[in-house]
Amino acid sequence: MFSDAVAALRCPLCHRAVQLMERPQRTLVCPSGHLFDAAKQGYFNLLTGKGTVFEADTADMVAARHRFLEAGHYLPLTTAVAEEAARALPDHGAVVLDAGTGTGHYLQAVIEASGASAIGLDISKFALRRAARLNPQAVNLVWDIWRPLPVAENSVDVVMVVFAPRNPAEFGRVLRPGGKLIVVTPRPGHLAEIADRTSMLGIEEGKEERLVDSMKGHFTLTRTYGLDVPMELTGRQMGDLAYMGPAGHHLGQQGEVNEPSGSVATLAKFRISVFTVS
């Protein structure tokens, strides 16, 4: 429920609990009088007034991601994340936090599978416009994962991070004892055929070890496994794939990848890692 997610929030300025006011407009308000109005799409920008140097995903990058994900190319991953989260979430009063929620695609599947209350965070307001439309029952917040999260300690059952930055200390703080962190990362060889045709970066070896190392002191690895998803992609779909990721910042403008043979067979190689808060 929305109210459980709001109860987990803390004012980013004074760290006190916030309440949702519906009138005269939808606003999060704390006892010190700090106010955060909802954007017309329904998300809240808690970074207001604070400049950030981060280069957020653009509207076009978000549109490419939305098209690609909603076409179902990554459906086995979406299903796996939803099942993993549903397994880790309690039946009642569960709260899930999606760090770097993007268009809200994976969070939507988790909400559908679990019925949990949800908080989606992302630094891109363009991403949150989509996420707020896809998941109106979630609290969607513009926020920077590298800052202290505007979330109370011991208030969240699952943090999920799908191809987004990880802040282990903050994830550990907001999780309840026994809470789970679900991380999705690419494995070496991920989309190698597409990377060859676009300016997407390849995935380096050793990333898995670095992921586990970075969690030390905060989390223990409970389970990790690979998931391979074969795909056949057209030039347009390859264009979306290249543009929706980090390379999108440098590609200038989205487009189609010239593919004389019509389509290219490739393999998405994911890793799903489940950590338990120590």
Which residues of the chain form contacts with ligand SAM (CB under 6 A)?
Answer: 54, 56-57, 65, 69, 100-103, 105-106, 121-124, 127, 144-146, 162-165, 245
Q: How far is the CB of 124 from ligand SAM (least distance, A)?
A: 4
CA pair distance 1, 3, nearest whole angstrom: 5
Nearer to ligand SAM, 123 or 231 (CB): 123
Residue from 14, 17, 35, 75 in contact with Zn ion (CB under 5 A): 14
Residue 30 binds which of Zn ion, ligand SAM, none (CB < 5-8 A, kind-dependent): Zn ion
CA dihedral (73, 78, 79, 81) positive or negative: positive
Residue 11 binds which of Zn ion, ligand SAM, none (CB < 5-8 A, kind-dependent): Zn ion
87: left (phi over 0), alpha (psi -120 to 50) or beta: alpha
The burial of 239, by beta-carbon neighbours within 10 Å (0-12 exposed, 13-18 middle, 19 or more buried), is given as buried
79 binds Zn ion (CB under 5 A): no
Q: How far is the CB of 14 from Zn ion (least distance, A)?
A: 3
Peptide bond into 136 cis (omega under 30): no
Residue 57 binds which of Zn ion, ligand SAM, none (CB < 5-8 A, kind-dependent): ligand SAM
17 binds Zn ion (CB under 5 A): no
240: left (phi over 0), alpha (psi -120 to 50) or beta: alpha
32 binds Zn ion (CB under 5 A): yes
Spatial CB neighbours of 92, under 8 Å, sequence gap ≥ 6: none
Residues forming contacts to Zn ion in the complex (CB under 5 A) are 11, 13-14, 30, 32, 34
